[in-house]
Amino acid sequence: MAEQSIAGAPGRAMAADGDRSARARFVIVLLCVALAFSVFLSLTAGASDASAVRVVRDWFTGAMPADAALAARDQLIVYDIRIPRVLLGVLIGAALAVCGAVMQGLFRNPLADPGLIGVSAGSSLGAVAIIVLGTTWLAPVTLALGTLALPLAAFFGGLSVTLLLYAIATRQGRTSVATMLLAGIAISALAMALTGVLIFMADDRQLRDLTFWQLGSLAGATWPKIGTVGPVIVLALSAMPFLSRGLNALALGEATAGHLGIPVQRLKYTAIVGVSAAVGASVAVSGGIGFIGIVVPHVLRLAIGPDNRYLLPASALLGASLLLLADSVARTIVAPAELPIGIVTAVAGAPFFLWILLRKRGVIDL
């Protein structure tokens, strides 16, 4: 009763009790600023001393640089290496975080992740098959597709696992989310076993490629790759906001969401196809980057609540920022060499996640 009188006290121009939307909008604005900062940092930091600021300034003012050769080199580094890499980082960070949030809403479980239901494992199998068998059994494929063979194989690997799962879990037009989760674990194990066979067959050079790819990296960022996966990710992510109200209702259970007027089957179908497309495309170019999909939505739920209308855009922004920061660390900490980004996200993400769990014990109810 004391709370009630405080809430009703005059002169308290606050949002209604229990309404976190104002705070959520504020956090989203903050995250926009953070992303701008991360983009700036990623463009300026790197193994080379190329100055992104100078390149942009020259480009704007049209000034002729004093040292033409140096300017040309800087321009090359900024335009052809750093900008595509930043774009790719934004796309993939946003995709991983949003897909994590959507999966968690869909499976009604804060631990769900595209990695959990086998989408990532399927993508990995596709990619590893190209790396190991690309010169022998799958030579016609790699010849026909060139550098696109690996991303496409990863994409179709992820998609076929998802479609298989969907077929297994759907009976009479209803998809059982629990069956899908369990079948996903089984298919994941199978895909990882097949990947293991391929790794066993690989030679030394292939092994090194494999390791690097499995740990995840944005090092392969080029304009053609962005042209391939960018539209897929952008299309998939732009469908997600339309799912947010349905995902909110799904927190009450599938039946109740249906009673509230949500077309639950269509919601599940759209979410699954969207997630497998975005995750398949991400894994295809950058390998397996862990923790973004679990940590980002989780932290944001603590900050702004689980309302997907705010959680999804906020996840995209924070996911993009964090991946750019992790990539900046990966590129500079052992320069001129670079660390796989998956190591950075895991080393930073895992302890942080544990700390959150310990600090908020009791609030998070699995």
Partner 1 sequence: MIEARDISVAIGGKRIVSHVDFAARPGEVSAVVGPNGSGKTTLLKALTGELAYTGAVTLNGRDLSAMKPVEAATLRAVLPQSTALSFPFTVREIVRLGLIGGRSGVLPGEDARLPERALARVDLDGFAGRFYQELSGGEQQRVQLARVLCQVWAPVLEGRPRYLFLDEPVSSLDVKHQLIIMNIARDFARRGGGVMAILHDLNLTAMYADRIFVLRNGELAAAGPPADVLNDELIERVFDCRLKVGALPSGNMPFVLPQSAA
CB of 261 to partner 1, least distance (A): 3
Does 204 bind partner 1 (CB under 8 A)? Our answer is: no
Near partner 1 in 36-95, by CB under 8 A? none
CB of 349 to partner 1, least distance (A): 20
| DSSP 3-state of 170 | strand
Q: Give strand pairing partners of 361.
A: 364
C-alpha dihedral sign at 13, 18, 23, 25: negative
Q: Which is nearer to partner 1, 54 or 108 (CB)?
A: 108
d(CA 88, CA 194): 29
- Comparing CA positions, the residue from 37, 56, 94, 227 lying closest to residue 148 is 227
Interacting stretch for partner 1, rule CB under 8 A, among 106-114, 201-209, 270-278, 348-356? 106-114
CB of 363 to partner 1, least distance (A): 7
Interacting stretch for partner 1, rule CB under 8 A, among 28-36, 75-83, 104-112, 328-336? 104-112
Does 261 bind partner 1 (CB under 8 A)? Our answer is: yes
Q: Which is nearer to partner 1, 61 or 172 (CB)?
A: 172
CB of 80 to partner 1, least distance (A): 43
d(CA 324, CA 41): 8
Q: Which is nearer to partner 1, 76 or 363 (CB)?
A: 363
What is the DSSP track for 200-264? HH--HHHHHHHHHHHH--STT--HHHHHHHHHHHHHHHHHGGGGHHHHHHHTT-HHHHHHTT--H
CB of 246 to partner 1, least distance (A): 8
- Comparing CA positions, the residue from 359, 302, 216, 288 lying closest to residue 20 is 302
Does 9 bind partner 1 (CB under 8 A)? Our answer is: no
d(CA 182, CA 187): 9
**Which listed residue (66, 172, 205, 358) binds partner 1 by CB under 8 A?**
172
**Which listed residue (108, 148, 234, 347) binds partner 1 by CB under 8 A?**
108
Q: Which is nearer to partner 1, 17 or 80 (CB)?
A: 17
Does 331 bind partner 1 (CB under 8 A)? Our answer is: no
Query: What end-to-end distance do the CA atoms of the chain give, in Å?
Result: 30
Does 242 bind partner 1 (CB under 8 A)? Our answer is: no
Does 252 bind partner 1 (CB under 8 A)? Our answer is: yes
d(CA 334, CA 1): 59
Q: Which is nearer to partner 1, 272 or 289 (CB)?
A: 272
Task: Give the list of residues 6+ apart from residue 150 with CB closer than 8 angstroms, or none.
Answer: 127, 130, 131, 134, 284
Q: Which is nearer to partner 1, 248 or 270 (CB)?
A: 248
Q: Which is nearer to partner 1, 184 or 306 (CB)?
A: 306
d(CA 260, CA 245): 11
List of residues contacting partner 1 (CB under 8 A): 1, 3-4, 7, 16-20, 105, 108-110, 172, 245, 248-249, 251-253, 255-256, 258-264, 301, 305-307, 363-365
